[in-house]
Amino acid sequence: MVKDTNKSVKKTAKATVNKEKPVSKVVKNQSEKTTEKAIKTVSKTSKVEISTDKNTIEKAKKVKIETAAKTNKKSSLPRHIKNILISQPEPTGEKSPYTELSKKYKLKFTYIPFLKVESLTLREFRKNKINIADYTAIIFNSKNAIDYFFKICEEMRHKMPQEAKYICSSEAIAYYLQKYIQYRKRKVIYSNGTPQDMQNILKKYQATDNFLLPCSALGIGFLPAFLKQNKFNFTEAIMYRMVPNDDLKSKTLNYDLITFFNPEGVKAFMTIYPEFIDQRIAIGAFGEATQLELKKNGITVHAKAPIDEIKSMVMAIEKLFKDNPDLAEEL
Protein backbone atom coordinates (compact mmCIF):
# COMPACT_ATOMS: atom_id res chain seq x y z
CA MET A 1 0.00 0.00 0.00
CA VAL A 2 2.88 2.33 0.80
CA LYS A 3 4.52 1.48 -2.52
CA ASP A 4 1.34 2.35 -4.39
CA THR A 5 1.12 5.64 -2.57
CA ASN A 6 4.72 6.52 -3.52
CA LYS A 7 4.04 5.65 -7.16
CA SER A 8 0.99 7.89 -7.09
CA VAL A 9 3.00 10.79 -5.66
CA LYS A 10 5.72 10.36 -8.29
CA LYS A 11 3.18 10.30 -11.11
CA THR A 12 1.53 13.45 -9.74
CA ALA A 13 4.90 15.23 -9.49
CA LYS A 14 5.85 14.16 -13.02
CA ALA A 15 2.56 15.37 -14.40
CA THR A 16 3.06 18.70 -12.63
CA VAL A 17 6.52 19.08 -14.22
CA ASN A 18 5.16 18.20 -17.66
CA LYS A 19 2.44 20.79 -17.30
CA GLU A 20 4.96 23.46 -16.30
CA LYS A 21 7.18 22.92 -19.35
CA PRO A 22 4.68 24.24 -21.89
CA VAL A 23 4.03 27.24 -19.64
CA SER A 24 7.78 27.92 -19.58
CA LYS A 25 7.91 27.70 -23.38
CA VAL A 26 4.98 30.07 -23.74
CA VAL A 27 6.62 32.59 -21.42
CA LYS A 28 9.88 32.26 -23.32
CA ASN A 29 8.18 32.71 -26.70
CA GLN A 30 6.25 35.70 -25.41
CA SER A 31 9.49 37.19 -24.11
CA GLU A 32 11.21 36.68 -27.47
CA LYS A 33 8.28 38.22 -29.32
CA THR A 34 8.26 41.17 -26.95
CA THR A 35 12.02 41.65 -27.49
CA GLU A 36 11.65 41.44 -31.27
CA LYS A 37 8.77 43.92 -31.14
CA ALA A 38 10.87 46.26 -29.04
CA ILE A 39 13.78 46.03 -31.51
CA LYS A 40 11.44 46.81 -34.40
CA THR A 41 10.00 49.75 -32.51
CA VAL A 42 13.48 51.12 -31.77
CA SER A 43 14.48 50.61 -35.41
CA LYS A 44 11.43 52.56 -36.61
CA THR A 45 11.95 55.39 -34.18
CA SER A 46 15.71 55.68 -34.71
CA LYS A 47 15.41 58.01 -37.69
CA VAL A 48 17.12 61.37 -37.33
CA GLU A 49 15.61 64.51 -38.80
CA ILE A 50 17.68 66.01 -41.66
CA SER A 51 19.72 68.95 -40.41
CA THR A 52 23.01 70.69 -41.09
CA ASP A 53 23.83 70.66 -37.37
CA LYS A 54 27.10 68.75 -36.85
CA ASN A 55 25.89 66.82 -33.78
CA THR A 56 22.73 65.73 -35.57
CA ILE A 57 24.72 64.60 -38.62
CA GLU A 58 27.11 62.56 -36.48
CA LYS A 59 24.21 60.93 -34.59
CA ALA A 60 22.45 60.09 -37.86
CA LYS A 61 25.64 58.61 -39.29
CA LYS A 62 26.15 56.48 -36.16
CA VAL A 63 22.54 55.25 -36.14
CA LYS A 64 22.71 54.36 -39.83
CA ILE A 65 25.95 52.38 -39.54
CA GLU A 66 24.88 50.61 -36.31
CA THR A 67 21.48 49.71 -37.78
CA ALA A 68 23.11 48.30 -40.91
CA ALA A 69 25.53 46.28 -38.77
CA LYS A 70 22.73 44.86 -36.56
CA THR A 71 20.51 43.86 -39.46
CA ASN A 72 23.47 42.74 -41.58
CA LYS A 73 22.01 44.46 -44.66
CA LYS A 74 24.18 44.57 -47.76
CA SER A 75 24.01 47.33 -50.33
CA SER A 76 22.43 46.01 -53.53
CA LEU A 77 22.42 47.30 -57.08
CA PRO A 78 19.25 48.70 -58.66
CA ARG A 79 17.35 46.57 -61.11
CA HIS A 80 18.33 48.88 -63.97
CA ILE A 81 20.46 51.99 -64.37
CA LYS A 82 18.97 54.82 -66.43
CA ASN A 83 19.34 58.04 -64.43
CA ILE A 84 22.87 58.95 -63.33
CA LEU A 85 23.93 61.87 -61.14
CA ILE A 86 27.42 63.24 -61.88
CA SER A 87 28.61 65.45 -59.03
CA GLN A 88 30.57 67.79 -61.29
CA PRO A 89 29.73 70.73 -63.56
CA GLU A 90 28.32 69.71 -66.95
CA PRO A 91 31.11 69.28 -69.54
CA THR A 92 31.15 71.89 -72.28
CA GLY A 93 31.33 71.07 -75.99
CA GLU A 94 30.20 68.08 -78.01
CA LYS A 95 33.11 65.87 -76.95
CA SER A 96 31.82 65.14 -73.48
CA PRO A 97 33.18 61.78 -72.23
CA TYR A 98 29.65 60.84 -71.16
CA THR A 99 28.01 61.41 -74.57
CA GLU A 100 29.02 58.08 -76.12
CA LEU A 101 28.13 56.22 -72.92
CA SER A 102 24.71 57.87 -72.91
CA LYS A 103 23.98 56.79 -76.47
CA LYS A 104 25.28 53.25 -75.97
CA TYR A 105 23.18 52.46 -72.89
CA LYS A 106 20.36 55.05 -73.32
CA LEU A 107 21.30 56.86 -70.14
CA LYS A 108 20.24 60.22 -68.77
CA PHE A 109 22.98 62.22 -67.04
CA THR A 110 22.31 65.01 -64.54
CA TYR A 111 25.18 67.27 -63.44
CA ILE A 112 24.98 68.75 -59.94
CA PRO A 113 28.22 69.54 -58.05
CA PHE A 114 27.98 68.66 -54.35
CA LEU A 115 30.34 71.53 -53.60
CA LYS A 116 30.54 75.18 -54.50
CA VAL A 117 33.93 76.84 -54.79
CA GLU A 118 34.68 80.21 -53.22
CA SER A 119 37.93 82.02 -53.86
CA LEU A 120 40.02 83.43 -51.06
CA THR A 121 40.51 87.16 -51.38
CA LEU A 122 44.01 88.41 -52.02
CA ARG A 123 44.01 89.87 -48.53
CA GLU A 124 43.13 86.46 -47.03
CA PHE A 125 45.85 84.74 -49.07
CA ARG A 126 48.51 87.24 -48.04
CA LYS A 127 47.88 86.43 -44.39
CA ASN A 128 49.59 83.06 -45.05
CA LYS A 129 52.80 84.94 -46.00
CA ILE A 130 53.51 82.73 -49.02
CA ASN A 131 55.81 84.09 -51.72
CA ILE A 132 55.03 82.16 -54.92
CA ALA A 133 58.39 83.18 -56.44
CA ASP A 134 60.18 81.02 -53.83
CA TYR A 135 58.87 77.78 -55.36
CA THR A 136 60.26 75.96 -58.40
CA ALA A 137 57.55 73.29 -58.78
CA ILE A 138 53.77 73.59 -58.49
CA ILE A 139 51.67 70.48 -57.73
CA PHE A 140 48.16 70.44 -59.21
CA ASN A 141 45.60 67.89 -58.09
CA SER A 142 42.48 69.50 -59.61
CA LYS A 143 41.28 72.03 -62.17
CA ASN A 144 40.06 74.23 -59.32
CA ALA A 145 43.61 74.40 -57.99
CA ILE A 146 44.82 75.59 -61.43
CA ASP A 147 42.08 78.22 -61.78
CA TYR A 148 42.58 79.77 -58.35
CA PHE A 149 46.38 79.57 -58.45
CA PHE A 150 46.55 81.63 -61.62
CA LYS A 151 43.82 83.94 -60.31
CA ILE A 152 45.97 84.72 -57.26
CA CYS A 153 49.03 85.12 -59.47
CA GLU A 154 47.16 87.62 -61.64
CA GLU A 155 45.93 89.60 -58.64
CA MET A 156 49.47 89.67 -57.24
CA ARG A 157 50.81 90.59 -60.70
CA HIS A 158 53.18 87.66 -60.49
CA LYS A 159 54.29 86.08 -63.77
CA MET A 160 55.38 82.44 -63.55
CA PRO A 161 58.92 81.88 -64.91
CA GLN A 162 59.28 79.68 -67.97
CA GLU A 163 61.54 77.20 -66.13
CA ALA A 164 58.89 76.44 -63.45
CA LYS A 165 57.71 72.85 -63.25
CA TYR A 166 54.03 71.86 -63.14
CA ILE A 167 53.41 68.38 -61.72
CA CYS A 168 49.84 67.18 -62.27
CA SER A 169 47.98 64.18 -60.86
CA SER A 170 46.45 63.23 -64.24
CA GLU A 171 46.74 63.90 -67.96
CA ALA A 172 43.37 65.71 -68.05
CA ILE A 173 44.51 68.16 -65.36
CA ALA A 174 47.81 68.71 -67.18
CA TYR A 175 46.03 69.58 -70.44
CA TYR A 176 43.84 72.02 -68.57
CA LEU A 177 46.96 74.12 -68.00
CA GLN A 178 46.74 75.21 -71.65
CA LYS A 179 44.11 77.70 -70.48
CA TYR A 180 46.89 79.67 -68.73
CA ILE A 181 50.29 78.73 -70.22
CA GLN A 182 51.92 77.80 -73.53
CA TYR A 183 51.84 74.09 -72.85
CA ARG A 184 54.64 72.94 -75.16
CA LYS A 185 57.08 75.53 -73.94
CA ARG A 186 56.72 74.66 -70.26
CA LYS A 187 57.84 71.77 -68.07
CA VAL A 188 54.60 69.85 -67.50
CA ILE A 189 54.75 66.40 -65.89
CA TYR A 190 51.73 64.24 -65.11
CA SER A 191 50.99 60.85 -63.58
CA ASN A 192 48.81 58.06 -64.93
CA GLY A 193 46.11 58.92 -62.39
CA THR A 194 47.21 56.62 -59.57
CA PRO A 195 48.64 57.81 -56.22
CA GLN A 196 51.64 55.48 -56.55
CA ASP A 197 52.69 56.92 -59.91
CA MET A 198 52.26 60.46 -58.59
CA GLN A 199 54.48 59.64 -55.61
CA ASN A 200 57.17 58.16 -57.88
CA ILE A 201 57.19 61.30 -60.04
CA LEU A 202 57.48 63.61 -57.04
CA LYS A 203 60.42 61.60 -55.65
CA LYS A 204 62.37 62.24 -58.89
CA TYR A 205 62.39 65.97 -58.15
CA GLN A 206 62.59 65.84 -54.35
CA ALA A 207 66.29 66.74 -54.16
CA THR A 208 66.16 69.66 -56.61
CA ASP A 209 62.86 71.47 -56.11
CA ASN A 210 60.83 73.44 -53.60
CA PHE A 211 57.15 72.52 -53.99
CA LEU A 212 53.97 74.57 -53.68
CA LEU A 213 50.67 72.70 -53.28
CA PRO A 214 47.62 74.89 -54.10
CA CYS A 215 44.56 73.51 -52.34
CA SER A 216 41.27 74.25 -50.62
CA ALA A 217 40.80 74.91 -46.91
CA LEU A 218 39.73 71.26 -46.55
CA GLY A 219 43.04 69.86 -47.76
CA ILE A 220 43.94 67.68 -50.70
CA GLY A 221 43.80 63.98 -49.86
CA PHE A 222 46.92 61.85 -49.51
CA LEU A 223 49.50 64.31 -50.89
CA PRO A 224 50.29 66.43 -47.78
CA ALA A 225 50.78 63.33 -45.63
CA PHE A 226 53.08 61.77 -48.25
CA LEU A 227 55.14 64.93 -48.63
CA LYS A 228 55.51 65.35 -44.87
CA GLN A 229 56.46 61.73 -44.24
CA ASN A 230 59.15 61.88 -46.94
CA LYS A 231 60.45 65.28 -45.77
CA PHE A 232 59.85 67.23 -48.99
CA ASN A 233 60.44 70.98 -49.07
CA PHE A 234 56.84 71.98 -49.66
CA THR A 235 54.09 74.35 -48.57
CA GLU A 236 50.33 73.96 -48.73
CA ALA A 237 48.82 77.12 -50.21
CA ILE A 238 45.13 77.57 -49.39
CA MET A 239 43.67 79.53 -52.32
CA TYR A 240 39.98 78.59 -52.27
CA ARG A 241 37.34 77.03 -50.07
CA MET A 242 34.74 74.36 -50.76
CA VAL A 243 31.23 74.71 -49.30
CA PRO A 244 28.20 72.38 -49.60
CA ASN A 245 25.92 73.15 -52.55
CA ASP A 246 22.63 74.14 -50.90
CA ASP A 247 20.82 73.63 -54.23
CA LEU A 248 20.84 69.92 -53.42
CA LYS A 249 18.37 70.43 -50.59
CA SER A 250 15.55 70.96 -53.07
CA LYS A 251 16.44 67.86 -55.11
CA THR A 252 14.88 64.41 -54.77
CA LEU A 253 17.41 61.61 -55.20
CA ASN A 254 15.61 59.80 -58.01
CA TYR A 255 18.84 58.36 -59.41
CA ASP A 256 20.03 54.82 -60.09
CA LEU A 257 23.72 55.77 -59.86
CA ILE A 258 25.38 58.60 -57.90
CA THR A 259 29.04 59.48 -58.48
CA PHE A 260 31.55 61.09 -56.12
CA PHE A 261 34.91 62.61 -57.08
CA ASN A 262 36.52 63.76 -53.83
CA PRO A 263 36.20 63.26 -50.05
CA GLU A 264 34.91 66.82 -49.61
CA GLY A 265 32.04 66.02 -51.98
CA VAL A 266 31.12 63.00 -49.86
CA LYS A 267 31.15 65.12 -46.68
CA ALA A 268 29.01 67.80 -48.31
CA PHE A 269 26.51 65.21 -49.55
CA MET A 270 26.25 63.59 -46.11
CA THR A 271 25.74 67.03 -44.54
CA ILE A 272 22.66 67.53 -46.73
CA TYR A 273 21.48 63.89 -46.65
CA PRO A 274 22.64 62.51 -43.26
CA GLU A 275 20.19 59.56 -43.42
CA PHE A 276 21.22 58.44 -46.91
CA ILE A 277 21.38 54.65 -47.35
CA ASP A 278 22.65 53.31 -50.68
CA GLN A 279 20.28 50.35 -51.05
CA ARG A 280 19.10 50.03 -54.62
CA ILE A 281 21.34 52.94 -55.66
CA ALA A 282 24.69 52.20 -57.30
CA ILE A 283 27.64 54.32 -56.15
CA GLY A 284 30.64 55.46 -58.20
CA ALA A 285 33.80 56.92 -56.65
CA PHE A 286 36.95 58.41 -58.13
CA GLY A 287 40.10 58.18 -56.02
CA GLU A 288 41.13 56.12 -52.99
CA ALA A 289 40.44 58.94 -50.54
CA THR A 290 36.89 59.33 -51.91
CA GLN A 291 36.26 55.60 -51.62
CA LEU A 292 37.59 55.59 -48.04
CA GLU A 293 35.31 58.48 -47.05
CA LEU A 294 32.27 56.63 -48.46
CA LYS A 295 33.28 53.51 -46.54
CA LYS A 296 33.46 55.54 -43.31
CA ASN A 297 29.84 56.49 -43.90
CA GLY A 298 28.78 52.87 -44.43
CA ILE A 299 28.31 53.27 -48.19
CA THR A 300 29.38 50.57 -50.67
CA VAL A 301 31.17 51.59 -53.87
CA HIS A 302 30.20 49.71 -57.05
CA ALA A 303 32.16 51.64 -59.71
CA LYS A 304 35.76 52.53 -58.78
CA ALA A 305 38.48 54.50 -60.59
CA PRO A 306 41.35 54.79 -61.14
CA ILE A 307 42.15 51.07 -60.86
CA ASP A 308 44.51 49.35 -63.32
CA GLU A 309 43.20 50.10 -66.83
CA ILE A 310 40.13 51.93 -65.47
CA LYS A 311 41.37 55.54 -65.58
CA SER A 312 38.13 57.54 -65.43
CA MET A 313 34.59 57.48 -64.05
CA VAL A 314 33.29 56.91 -67.59
CA MET A 315 35.38 53.74 -67.81
CA ALA A 316 34.27 52.66 -64.33
CA ILE A 317 30.59 53.01 -65.29
CA GLU A 318 31.25 51.11 -68.52
CA LYS A 319 32.85 48.28 -66.53
CA LEU A 320 29.85 48.19 -64.17
CA PHE A 321 27.55 47.56 -67.16
CA LYS A 322 29.90 44.91 -68.59
CA ASP A 323 30.08 43.10 -65.25
CA ASN A 324 26.29 43.38 -64.75
CA PRO A 325 24.63 43.24 -68.22
CA ASP A 326 21.11 43.22 -66.74
CA LEU A 327 21.58 46.80 -65.54
CA ALA A 328 21.25 48.04 -69.11
CA GLU A 329 17.96 46.27 -69.86
CA GLU A 330 14.87 48.28 -70.78
CA LEU A 331 12.48 49.05 -67.94
Give CA–CA dist 209/138, Å, rounded. 10
Contact (CB, 8 A) for 141 and 286: no
Predicted local distance difference test score (pLDDT) of residue 61: 55
Equal fold, 83-114+245-328 vs 117-244: yes
pTM confidence score: 0.56
Domain residue ranges of the chain, discontinuous segments joined by +? 83-114+245-328, 117-244
Predicted local distance difference test score (pLDDT) of residue 243: 84
Predicted local distance difference test score (pLDDT) of residue 91: 83
Provide Rg for the chain, Cα atoms: 29
Predicted local distance difference test score (pLDDT) of residue 117: 86
Predicted local distance difference test score (pLDDT) of residue 278: 78
Contact (CB, 8 A) for 303 and 331: no
Q: Which residues of the chain fall short of a pLDDT of 70?
A: 1-75, 93-94, 218-221, 329-331
Predicted local distance difference test score (pLDDT) of residue 16: 44
What fold does the segment set 117-244 form as a domain? Rossmann fold (3.40.50)
CA nearest neighbour of 320 among 263, 259, 254, 255: 259
User: Tens digit of pLDDT for each residue in 241-286?
Assistant: 888 888 887 788 899 999 999 888 999 999 989 988 878 999 999 9
Give CA–CA dist 285/166, Å, rounded. 26
DSSP-based three-state secondary structure for 252: coil
What fold does the segment set 83-114+245-328 form as a domain? Rossmann fold (3.40.50)
User: Tens digit of pLDDT for each residue in 178-222?
Assistant: 999 987 778 999 998 888 999 999 999 999 999 999 998 766 667
Give CA–CA dist 55/36, Å, rounded. 29
CA nearest neighbour of 322 among 302, 294, 306, 308: 302
Q: Which residues contact 65 (CB under 8 A, 6 or more apart)?
A: 297, 298
**From the centroid of its chain, how far is CA 93?**
27
Give CA–CA dist 117/240, Å, rounded. 7
